[in-house]
Amino acid sequence: MKKVLLLRLISLSTTVFAADKSITEAEARKIIAPMYANFSMPIIGGTKNLLEQGTTKDWVSCSGEDFKHCRGREESVKAFAGYAKAIPDLKHVIKEIIVMDNKIVVRGELSGTPAGDFFGVPHSGKSFKIMAIDIQTITGSKISKTYHLEDWASALNQLKAK
């Protein structure tokens, strides 16, 4: 019983220590700035350069739990270029940042007007505005992993609306 209690106390003190080492919101904004510059057109500084500045070499961006739903820098450069072409006025606005230990949660708003057909929706000149949630894991002073979720279904509904 004493051994379990001692281990429990060690565990609690480690958690408290980690929380004391948490990144401040100002530091978080600085760390994520290169990444989020990729989501406001035009991209200033080039996607590849921004990703190299803001992410670790082994960074992955994931939209699901399985590794098959993750992509690294090179694939992300291509994906970001595709979005820049499809939505030339894409904007990302950070609405809220939550920091816990080495995690940064970003609640953002994406908006834009597709330049042509978009995910099967015929071009109409309409714009969309959707919510995005990202969980960034920080290693050192760079993003090492991103989990992201965008409400693209809502974007499509807005683009289809009469």
Digitized pLDDT (tens) for each residue of the chain, 162 residues in all:
444 333 333 333 333 323 346 789 999 999 999 999 988 877 777 889 999 999 999 999 999 777 678 999 999 999 988 888 999 999 999 999 999 999 999 999 999 999 999 999 999 999 999 999 999 999 999 999 999 999 999 999 999 998
Domain ranges of the chain: 23-160
Give the CATH number of domain 23-160. 3.10.450.50
Q: Is the dihedral of CA 119, 125, 126, 132 positive or negative?
A: positive
Cβ(54)–Cβ(32) below 8 Å: yes
Global pTM reads: 0.81
Q: In terms of Cα–Cα distance, which of 30, 70, 71 is closest to 53? A: 30
> How many angstroms separate the CA atoms of 139 and 58, rounded?
11
Burial 79-116 (b: 16+ CB within 10 A, else e): ebeebbeebeebebebeebebeeebbebebebbbbbee
Q: How many helices (H) and strands (E) does the chain have?
A: 5, 6
The SS3 of residue 156 is: helix
What stretches of 21-72 show up as alpha helix (H) in DSSP? 25-36, 47-54
- pLDDT the model gives residue 15: 31
Cβ(123)–Cβ(116) below 8 Å: yes
